A and B are shown apart, each in its own frame.
Chain A
Amino acid sequence: MPEDNTPKDFDQIQIGDALGPEEFFLSKDQVRAYARTTGMWVPRFTDDEGARKEGLPGMITPGNMSLAILSKLVTDWVGMGGARMVRLGTTYRQPVIPNHTITLQGFVTHKNAEDRTAEVDIWIENEEAERLVIGTATVQFLK
Protein backbone atom coordinates (compact mmCIF):
# COMPACT_ATOMS: atom_id res chain seq x y z
CA MET A 1 0.00 0.00 0.00
CA PRO A 2 1.12 3.62 -0.35
CA GLU A 3 3.42 4.99 2.34
CA ASP A 4 0.70 7.30 3.53
CA ASN A 5 -2.08 5.20 5.03
CA THR A 6 -3.78 7.90 7.05
CA PRO A 7 -7.53 7.45 6.96
CA LYS A 8 -9.23 9.33 4.16
CA ASP A 9 -11.34 12.22 5.42
CA PHE A 10 -14.86 12.05 3.97
CA ASP A 11 -15.27 15.83 3.99
CA GLN A 12 -12.17 16.31 1.84
CA ILE A 13 -13.30 13.95 -0.92
CA GLN A 14 -14.43 15.52 -4.16
CA ILE A 15 -16.10 14.04 -7.19
CA GLY A 16 -13.39 13.42 -9.74
CA ASP A 17 -10.69 12.65 -7.16
CA ALA A 18 -8.29 10.06 -8.57
CA LEU A 19 -7.44 6.58 -7.32
CA GLY A 20 -4.01 5.64 -8.62
CA PRO A 21 -2.71 5.42 -11.25
CA GLU A 22 -0.73 2.51 -9.90
CA GLU A 23 1.42 0.67 -12.38
CA PHE A 24 2.98 -2.71 -11.82
CA PHE A 25 4.38 -5.70 -13.58
CA LEU A 26 2.11 -8.69 -13.08
CA SER A 27 4.34 -11.76 -13.20
CA LYS A 28 3.31 -15.30 -14.04
CA ASP A 29 4.68 -16.38 -10.68
CA GLN A 30 2.39 -13.97 -8.86
CA VAL A 31 -0.61 -15.37 -10.74
CA ARG A 32 0.55 -18.92 -9.91
CA ALA A 33 0.90 -17.94 -6.24
CA TYR A 34 -2.68 -16.70 -6.27
CA ALA A 35 -3.91 -19.85 -8.04
CA ARG A 36 -2.05 -22.04 -5.55
CA THR A 37 -3.33 -20.37 -2.40
CA THR A 38 -6.95 -20.11 -3.58
CA GLY A 39 -7.30 -23.65 -4.90
CA MET A 40 -7.50 -22.56 -8.55
CA TRP A 41 -4.51 -24.56 -9.75
CA VAL A 42 -5.72 -25.31 -13.27
CA PRO A 43 -3.73 -25.00 -16.52
CA ARG A 44 -5.40 -21.80 -17.74
CA PHE A 45 -4.04 -19.96 -14.68
CA THR A 46 -0.70 -21.71 -14.30
CA ASP A 47 0.79 -22.82 -17.59
CA ASP A 48 0.96 -21.31 -21.11
CA GLU A 49 0.93 -24.63 -22.92
CA GLY A 50 -2.07 -25.94 -20.98
CA ALA A 51 -3.94 -22.67 -21.48
CA ARG A 52 -3.39 -22.83 -25.25
CA LYS A 53 -4.96 -26.28 -25.29
CA GLU A 54 -8.08 -24.59 -23.91
CA GLY A 55 -8.01 -22.11 -26.79
CA LEU A 56 -6.52 -19.23 -24.83
CA PRO A 57 -3.54 -17.18 -26.01
CA GLY A 58 -1.56 -18.30 -22.95
CA MET A 59 -2.09 -18.37 -19.21
CA ILE A 60 -4.51 -15.77 -17.90
CA THR A 61 -5.19 -14.15 -14.54
CA PRO A 62 -8.18 -15.51 -12.60
CA GLY A 63 -11.07 -13.04 -12.55
CA ASN A 64 -11.06 -13.28 -8.77
CA MET A 65 -7.45 -12.13 -8.70
CA SER A 66 -8.32 -9.09 -10.84
CA LEU A 67 -11.14 -8.42 -8.39
CA ALA A 68 -8.68 -8.65 -5.48
CA ILE A 69 -6.25 -6.27 -7.17
CA LEU A 70 -9.01 -3.71 -7.75
CA SER A 71 -10.28 -4.22 -4.20
CA LYS A 72 -6.82 -3.32 -2.92
CA LEU A 73 -6.75 -0.16 -5.05
CA VAL A 74 -9.89 0.97 -3.21
CA THR A 75 -8.82 -0.06 0.30
CA ASP A 76 -5.39 1.55 -0.19
CA TRP A 77 -7.12 4.78 -1.24
CA VAL A 78 -9.34 4.64 1.84
CA GLY A 79 -6.38 4.25 4.22
CA MET A 80 -6.39 2.53 7.54
CA GLY A 81 -9.44 2.46 9.72
CA GLY A 82 -11.57 5.41 8.65
CA ALA A 83 -13.87 3.66 6.23
CA ARG A 84 -14.96 0.30 4.91
CA MET A 85 -15.62 -0.91 1.40
CA VAL A 86 -19.18 -2.25 1.47
CA ARG A 87 -19.66 -3.20 -2.17
CA LEU A 88 -17.53 -4.03 -5.17
CA GLY A 89 -18.77 -4.96 -8.62
CA THR A 90 -16.51 -6.08 -11.44
CA THR A 91 -16.94 -6.84 -15.12
CA TYR A 92 -14.37 -9.01 -16.87
CA ARG A 93 -14.19 -7.60 -20.38
CA GLN A 94 -10.98 -9.16 -21.65
CA PRO A 95 -8.52 -11.56 -20.09
CA VAL A 96 -5.68 -10.05 -18.06
CA ILE A 97 -2.51 -11.61 -19.43
CA PRO A 98 0.40 -11.89 -16.98
CA ASN A 99 3.99 -11.04 -17.83
CA HIS A 100 2.79 -7.54 -18.72
CA THR A 101 2.58 -4.22 -16.96
CA ILE A 102 -0.91 -3.30 -15.85
CA THR A 103 -2.22 0.01 -14.56
CA LEU A 104 -4.89 0.38 -11.92
CA GLN A 105 -6.85 3.56 -11.65
CA GLY A 106 -10.17 5.15 -10.93
CA PHE A 107 -12.00 8.22 -9.76
CA VAL A 108 -14.78 9.29 -7.42
CA THR A 109 -18.16 9.40 -9.16
CA HIS A 110 -20.65 10.06 -6.35
CA LYS A 111 -20.66 11.28 -2.81
CA ASN A 112 -23.61 10.97 -0.46
CA ALA A 113 -23.34 13.08 2.68
CA GLU A 114 -26.41 11.51 4.28
CA ASP A 115 -25.07 7.99 4.60
CA ARG A 116 -21.42 9.07 4.32
CA THR A 117 -20.68 6.94 1.28
CA ALA A 118 -18.57 7.55 -1.77
CA GLU A 119 -18.72 5.66 -5.04
CA VAL A 120 -15.78 5.10 -7.31
CA ASP A 121 -15.21 3.79 -10.83
CA ILE A 122 -12.11 1.64 -11.09
CA TRP A 123 -10.38 -0.34 -13.81
CA ILE A 124 -7.36 -2.37 -14.90
CA GLU A 125 -5.65 -1.23 -18.08
CA ASN A 126 -3.06 -2.95 -20.25
CA GLU A 127 -0.12 -1.27 -21.98
CA GLU A 128 -2.40 -0.31 -24.89
CA ALA A 129 -4.72 1.57 -22.49
CA GLU A 130 -7.48 -1.01 -23.04
CA ARG A 131 -9.69 -1.44 -20.01
CA LEU A 132 -9.62 -5.17 -19.36
CA VAL A 133 -11.58 -5.21 -16.11
CA ILE A 134 -13.89 -2.44 -14.97
CA GLY A 135 -15.69 -2.01 -11.70
CA THR A 136 -17.48 0.19 -9.23
CA ALA A 137 -17.21 0.24 -5.47
CA THR A 138 -18.98 1.85 -2.56
CA VAL A 139 -17.06 2.98 0.49
CA GLN A 140 -18.77 3.77 3.78
CA PHE A 141 -17.09 6.27 6.09
CA LEU A 142 -17.42 5.93 9.81
CA LYS A 143 -18.47 8.52 12.38
Chain B
Amino acid sequence: MALNYDPALIGRVFENTDPVPVSAEMVTNFCQAIGENNPLHSDPEAAARGPYGSLVAPPSFAVTFRNGQHFFQHVPRFGKQGFDAGKDVEFVAPIRPGDSITLSSHVKEIYEKTGRTGSMVFVIVRSTLKNQRGEVVAHVDHRFMNRP
Protein backbone atom coordinates (compact mmCIF):
# COMPACT_ATOMS: atom_id res chain seq x y z
CA MET B 1 0.00 0.00 0.00
CA ALA B 2 1.32 3.42 -0.89
CA LEU B 3 1.24 5.70 2.09
CA ASN B 4 -0.52 8.89 1.22
CA TYR B 5 0.62 11.94 3.16
CA ASP B 6 2.21 15.32 2.64
CA PRO B 7 5.99 14.83 3.02
CA ALA B 8 6.29 18.48 4.11
CA LEU B 9 4.72 17.59 7.41
CA ILE B 10 7.73 15.52 8.47
CA GLY B 11 9.87 17.60 10.79
CA ARG B 12 7.53 20.58 10.92
CA VAL B 13 6.85 21.63 14.51
CA PHE B 14 3.08 21.79 14.94
CA GLU B 15 2.91 22.33 18.64
CA ASN B 16 4.62 24.51 21.22
CA THR B 17 3.03 24.30 24.64
CA ASP B 18 2.98 26.93 27.35
CA PRO B 19 5.47 26.33 30.15
CA VAL B 20 4.30 23.98 32.89
CA PRO B 21 5.85 24.80 36.29
CA VAL B 22 7.04 21.74 38.19
CA SER B 23 6.17 21.88 41.89
CA ALA B 24 7.64 19.74 44.65
CA GLU B 25 4.11 18.47 45.24
CA MET B 26 3.80 17.20 41.66
CA VAL B 27 7.01 15.22 42.06
CA THR B 28 5.93 13.86 45.46
CA ASN B 29 2.52 12.79 44.14
CA PHE B 30 4.11 11.16 41.12
CA CYS B 31 6.57 9.23 43.33
CA GLN B 32 3.72 8.05 45.56
CA ALA B 33 1.66 6.88 42.59
CA ILE B 34 4.46 4.69 41.23
CA GLY B 35 5.81 3.56 44.61
CA GLU B 36 9.08 5.44 44.16
CA ASN B 37 11.07 5.83 47.35
CA ASN B 38 14.58 6.35 46.06
CA PRO B 39 15.99 9.23 48.19
CA LEU B 40 17.20 10.99 45.01
CA HIS B 41 13.53 11.56 44.18
CA SER B 42 11.85 11.66 47.55
CA ASP B 43 14.23 12.98 50.23
CA PRO B 44 15.48 16.55 49.64
CA GLU B 45 18.30 16.30 52.20
CA ALA B 46 19.67 12.98 50.98
CA ALA B 47 19.26 14.14 47.36
CA ALA B 48 21.28 17.29 48.12
CA ARG B 49 24.24 15.07 49.01
CA GLY B 50 23.73 12.95 45.88
CA PRO B 51 25.11 13.35 42.35
CA TYR B 52 22.51 15.94 41.26
CA GLY B 53 22.96 18.28 44.23
CA SER B 54 19.21 18.55 44.81
CA LEU B 55 16.05 16.54 44.49
CA VAL B 56 15.26 15.47 40.93
CA ALA B 57 12.12 13.91 39.47
CA PRO B 58 12.26 10.23 38.47
CA PRO B 59 13.19 9.93 34.77
CA SER B 60 9.71 8.71 33.80
CA PHE B 61 8.22 12.00 35.06
CA ALA B 62 9.23 13.33 31.63
CA VAL B 63 6.39 11.47 29.92
CA THR B 64 3.73 13.15 32.06
CA PHE B 65 4.03 16.45 30.13
CA ARG B 66 1.23 16.53 27.65
CA ASN B 67 0.63 18.00 24.27
CA GLY B 68 -2.30 20.39 23.81
CA GLN B 69 -5.89 19.36 23.23
CA HIS B 70 -5.57 19.75 19.44
CA PHE B 71 -2.52 17.48 19.28
CA PHE B 72 -4.29 14.58 17.61
CA GLN B 73 -5.61 16.78 14.81
CA HIS B 74 -1.99 17.04 13.67
CA VAL B 75 -1.14 13.37 13.91
CA PRO B 76 -1.85 11.74 10.53
CA ARG B 77 -4.15 8.73 10.67
CA PHE B 78 -4.17 5.75 8.35
CA GLY B 79 -7.30 3.67 8.59
CA LYS B 80 -9.78 3.63 11.39
CA GLN B 81 -8.03 1.86 14.18
CA GLY B 82 -5.18 3.74 15.79
CA PHE B 83 -3.58 3.30 19.17
CA ASP B 84 -0.61 4.12 21.34
CA ALA B 85 1.89 1.35 20.62
CA GLY B 86 4.68 2.58 22.87
CA LYS B 87 7.23 5.26 23.58
CA ASP B 88 10.94 5.75 23.19
CA VAL B 89 12.41 8.24 25.60
CA GLU B 90 15.84 9.78 25.60
CA PHE B 91 16.65 11.26 29.00
CA VAL B 92 19.03 14.16 28.51
CA ALA B 93 19.00 16.06 31.83
CA PRO B 94 17.10 15.72 35.10
CA ILE B 95 13.88 17.67 35.79
CA ARG B 96 13.78 19.43 39.19
CA PRO B 97 11.04 21.04 41.23
CA GLY B 98 11.09 24.73 40.29
CA ASP B 99 11.72 23.99 36.62
CA SER B 100 9.28 25.12 33.98
CA ILE B 101 8.87 22.70 31.09
CA THR B 102 7.76 23.40 27.55
CA LEU B 103 7.14 20.80 24.92
CA SER B 104 7.37 21.11 21.14
CA SER B 105 6.26 18.37 18.80
CA HIS B 106 6.68 17.27 15.22
CA VAL B 107 6.05 14.16 13.12
CA LYS B 108 9.41 12.45 12.96
CA GLU B 109 8.70 9.46 10.80
CA ILE B 110 5.95 7.46 9.08
CA TYR B 111 6.55 3.88 8.02
CA GLU B 112 4.73 0.69 7.19
CA LYS B 113 5.41 -2.74 8.57
CA THR B 114 3.88 -6.09 7.86
CA GLY B 115 3.56 -8.44 10.78
CA ARG B 116 1.76 -11.67 11.57
CA THR B 117 -1.50 -9.80 11.92
CA GLY B 118 -1.20 -7.87 8.68
CA SER B 119 -0.13 -4.42 7.64
CA MET B 120 0.53 -1.67 10.18
CA VAL B 121 1.41 1.97 9.71
CA PHE B 122 3.49 3.60 12.42
CA VAL B 123 3.49 7.34 12.97
CA ILE B 124 6.27 8.59 15.22
CA VAL B 125 5.70 11.96 16.86
CA ARG B 126 8.65 13.43 18.70
CA SER B 127 8.05 15.77 21.61
CA THR B 128 11.11 17.65 22.83
CA LEU B 129 11.02 18.92 26.40
CA LYS B 130 13.00 21.98 27.42
CA ASN B 131 13.39 23.69 30.75
CA GLN B 132 13.21 27.44 31.50
CA ARG B 133 16.84 27.86 30.42
CA GLY B 134 16.09 26.39 27.01
CA GLU B 135 18.03 23.23 27.80
CA VAL B 136 16.66 20.00 26.35
CA VAL B 137 15.73 17.65 29.18
CA ALA B 138 14.20 14.82 27.16
CA HIS B 139 12.97 13.63 23.78
CA VAL B 140 9.82 11.54 23.90
CA ASP B 141 8.92 9.61 20.74
CA HIS B 142 5.27 8.57 20.69
CA ARG B 143 4.69 5.53 18.50
CA PHE B 144 1.15 5.42 17.12
CA MET B 145 0.06 2.29 15.30
CA ASN B 146 -2.64 2.31 12.63
CA ARG B 147 -4.27 -0.55 10.84
CA PRO B 148 -5.19 0.48 7.33
Chain A residues in contact with chain B, CB under 8 A? Answer: 1, 5, 24, 30, 33-34, 36-39, 63-65, 67-69, 71-72, 75-76, 80-81, 84-92, 135, 142
Chain A CB within 8 A of B32 CB? yes
CB pair B26 A92 closer than 8 Å: no
Complex CA distance for A65 and B91, rounded to whole angstroms: 17
CB pair B87 A90 closer than 8 Å: yes
CB pair B38 A67 closer than 8 Å: no
Question: Could you give 23 example pairs across A and B, Cβ below 8 Å?
Answer: A1-B37, A5-B39, A37-B26, A38-B30, A38-B33, A63-B86, A64-B60, A64-B87, A65-B33, A67-B63, A67-B89, A75-B38, A75-B59, A85-B59, A86-B90, A87-B89, A88-B91, A89-B86, A89-B88, A91-B85, A91-B143, A92-B85, A92-B86
Chain B residues in contact with chain A, CB under 8 A? Answer: 26, 29-30, 32-40, 50-51, 58-60, 63-64, 66, 84-91, 143
The total number of A-B Cβ pairs within 8 Å is 92
CB pair B60 A68 closer than 8 Å: yes
Complex CA distance for A91 and B143, rounded to whole angstroms: 9
Complex CA distance for A94 and B66, rounded to whole angstroms: 23
Main secondary structure of the interface of B (DSSP, over half): mixed
- In the complex, besides A38-B33, A76-B38, A88-B88, 18 extra interface pairs with C-beta distance below 8 angstroms are A30-B35, A36-B33, A37-B30, A65-B34, A67-B60, A69-B34, A72-B36, A72-B60, A75-B59, A80-B39, A81-B40, A81-B50, A84-B91, A85-B91, A88-B60, A88-B89, A88-B91, A90-B86
